[in-house]
């Protein structure tokens, strides 16, 4: 009998720099994303959406981020500027997971953000289950409103993460994990 928890026990992120072609093909990506959006959603608000960055769009996005970075910090080194330009070019596909917050809802914003976060995590899990690699990254661009404007986000929308997808180019060793005993307790009245 196979271990039904094996997927969760072995899932790990692959650094975006180590993700290459191929990305999931269109049919596989469609199935992955349709599965990823099956998340707990208190109030059925669908407080998330997805934006795909691939091909030339990744390079242009990086160029625009580099322009913002240099405006915000004119003394930015050439090495850091190059890092900004290339940050989204390694993996063949980047999915931007966006939280769409409904301020008029009785559902607290934190629950709406967590719902969107679950979408990002489901993309990671699904990619691993399909034999692909993925890494969920944020960085300054996830929190910058000018970047939000580049992505066409409304005032109530925020980047939850950039999920980089592709095929692992190296074998990634698992990292040390915390001991459950250090994190778990039983509450008693």
Tens of pLDDT, residue by residue over 37-87, are 999 999 999 999 999 999 999 999 999 999 999 999 999 999 999 999 999
pLDDT at 18 over 70: yes
Structure letter (DSSP) for residue 182? G
Contact 61, 53 (CB under 8 A): yes
Global pTM reads 0.95
Distance CA 151, CA 127 (A): 24
Q: What are the distances in angstroms from CA 141 to CA 43, 51, 66, 152, 171?
A: 29, 14, 10, 14, 28
pLDDT at 1 over 80: no
H-type helices in 21-107, by residue range? 26-36, 56-72, 78-86
Tokens of 143: 């929190």
CATH architecture, range 13-54+89-170: 3-Layer(aba) Sandwich (3.40)
The string of pLDDT tens digits covering residues 81-105 is 999 999 999 999 999 999 999 999 9
Banded model confidence at residue 151, pLDDT cuts 50, 70, 90? very high
Displacement of CA 6 from its chain's centroid (Å) = 22
Mean pLDDT of 137-145: 97
Structure letter (DSSP) for residue 145? H
Distance CA 166, CA 169 (A): 9
Distance CA 102, CA 119 (A): 17
Domain ranges (residues) in the chain = 13-54+89-170
């Amino acid at each position: 009998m196979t271990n039904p928890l094996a997927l969760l026990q072995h899932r790990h992120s692959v650094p975006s720099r180590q993700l290459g072609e191929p990305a999931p093909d269109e049919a596989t990506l469609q199935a992955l994303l349709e599965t990823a959006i099956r998340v707990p959603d208190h109030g059925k608000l669908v407080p998330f959406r997805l934006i795909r960055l691939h091909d030339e769009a990744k390079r242009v996005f990086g160029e625009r981020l580099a322009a913002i970075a240099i405006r915000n910090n004119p003394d930015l080194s050439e090495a850091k500027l190059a890092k900004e330009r290339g940050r989204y070019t390694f993996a063949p596909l980047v999915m931007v997971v966006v939280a769409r917050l409904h301020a008029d809802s009785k559902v607290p914003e934190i629950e709406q953000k967590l719902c969107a976060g679950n979408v990002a995590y489901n993309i990671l899990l699904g990619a691993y289950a399909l034999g692909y690699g993925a890494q969920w990254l944020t960085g300054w661009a996830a929190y910058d409103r000018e970047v939000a404007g580049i992505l066409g986000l409304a005032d109530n929308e925020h980047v939850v993460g950039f999920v980089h997808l592709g095929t692992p180019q190296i074998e990634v060793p698992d990292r040390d994990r915390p001991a459950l005993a250090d994190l778990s307790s039983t509450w008693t009245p």
